[in-house]
Amino acid sequence: QRGLAAKATDLEALKGAVAGCEACALCETRTQTVFSDGTSSSGVMFIGEAPGAEEDAQGVPFVGRAGQFLTRIIEKGMGVDRSEVYIANVLKCRPPDNRDPKVEEKALCAAWLDRQIELVNPRVIVALGRHAAVHLTGKDQSMGRLRGQVHRVAGRPIVPTYHPSYLIRQEGSSSFVRTKKLVWEDIQLAMREADLDPEPK
């Protein structure tokens, strides 16, 4: 995949190469690959874990329940349209039954994501959830330790924060408000990196 990824000179070409990927067994169970949504006009790129059922069906990342939550964070919180941020995942194919991505799946898919990041060239990356955060920072730590700061990997700013699914699971519990506040702090940190005005609307 590294060679094929390097040959893709734009995102359309890379998306086409990803669509034909058979590097791991997930190609046998996927409906289709899930490459991206949006643009990087705001300079912000969100990276989640892997497509779920809804994403696999539609071919678009973050369109299920977690996606609706993410859309709220982007539109109500950041005050920008969802189409102004770039959204992708570490894995381009859905793991069956939404199980965690395997180490070898992440390793094989990394070439696609690396090239995707290179071509999008965002001002800041928001890593959604521990899988994306550990993958992107290379630091095998808890989200509690990873979040709240800007990690620079090869000069690229990475801001880890809790996954929207984690927030949804906490809804109705006493920790929900606290976690939501922490996510908003992280988003504000990312916005400052992208030179966006993080004043709450």
Binding-site ranges for ligand URA (CB under 6 A): 48-52, 55, 61-62, 64, 66-67, 89
Comparing CA positions, the residue from 163, 26, 34 lying closest to residue 108 is 26
Contact in structure between 162 and 147 (CB atoms under 8 Å): yes
Q: Which is nearer to ligand URA, 14 or 70 (CB)?
A: 70
Least Cβ distance, residue 92 to ligand URA (angstroms): 10
User: Nearest-CB residue to ligand URA?
Assistant: 48
Q: Which is nearer to ligand URA, 180 or 192 (CB)?
A: 180
Q: Which is nearer to ligand URA, 38 or 48 (CB)?
A: 48
Contact in structure between 55 and 30 (CB atoms under 8 Å): no
DSSP string, 10-60: SHHHHHHHHHT--SSTHHHH-SS----EE--TTSEEEEES---HHHHHHT-
Q: Which is nearer to ligand URA, 62 or 162 (CB)?
A: 62
By DSSP bridging, strand 151-153 and strand 156-161 are antiparallel
Q: Which is nearer to ligand URA, 32 or 198 (CB)?
A: 32
Least Cβ distance, residue 53 to ligand URA (angstroms): 9
Least Cβ distance, residue 9 to ligand URA (angstroms): 26
Contact in structure between 182 and 148 (CB atoms under 8 Å): yes
List Cα–Cα distances, 175 to 13, 172, 180, in angstroms. Answer: 43, 8, 9
Give the whole-angstrom CA distance, residue 71 versus residue 46: 11
Q: Which is nearer to ligand URA, 83 or 195 (CB)?
A: 83
Least Cβ distance, residue 121 to ligand URA (angstroms): 21
Give the whole-angstrom CA distance, residue 121 versus residue 112: 14
Least Cβ distance, residue 58 to ligand URA (angstroms): 10
Least Cβ distance, residue 7 to ligand URA (angstroms): 26
